[in-house]
Amino acid sequence: MNIEVLKSKIHRVKVTQSELNYVGSITVDENLLDAANLIAGEKVQVLNCNNGERLETYIIKGERDSGIICLNGPAARKASVGDIIIIVSYATMDFEAAKEFKPWMIFPDCDNNLIK
């Protein structure tokens, strides 16, 4: 039996931009992607702590060290600049393997920088 489990989590980052007239997705600083083991094009769920909105989209790699968290296209309607969001991805794996799996979870500071 396979189950879906948490693979990666970027906990409580601040939305820095919102681009309604864009194809769609979420742009994330490359430093955060690396630390959370996420890649461009990966499907993610975005959870808005300010208004309770939840959406699924895919990642676009943002400029390293920029702190960018930008909701693009229709997703831009689900959050405002300054909102706090959580970005999560999931993986499907064997039930027994899932018991031992440890997800990548990061907790950036209030400026979307990695805490050293």
C-alpha to C-alpha distances, 67 to 15, 59, 109, 111, 112, nearest whole angstrom: 9, 15, 10, 7, 5
Integer Cα distance of 111 and 39 in angstroms:
21
Identify the residue whose tokens are 């440890």. 102
Assess whether 58 carries a catalytic annotation: yes
Helix (H) or strand (E) holding 31: helix 30-36
- Active-site annotation holder among 25, 66, 89, 90: 25
Q: How far is CA 105 from the centre of its chain?
A: 11
Maximum CA pair distance of the chain?
A: 44
- Active-site annotation holder among 22, 58, 66, 90: 58
Assess whether 25 carries a catalytic annotation: yes
Catalytic residues: 25, 58
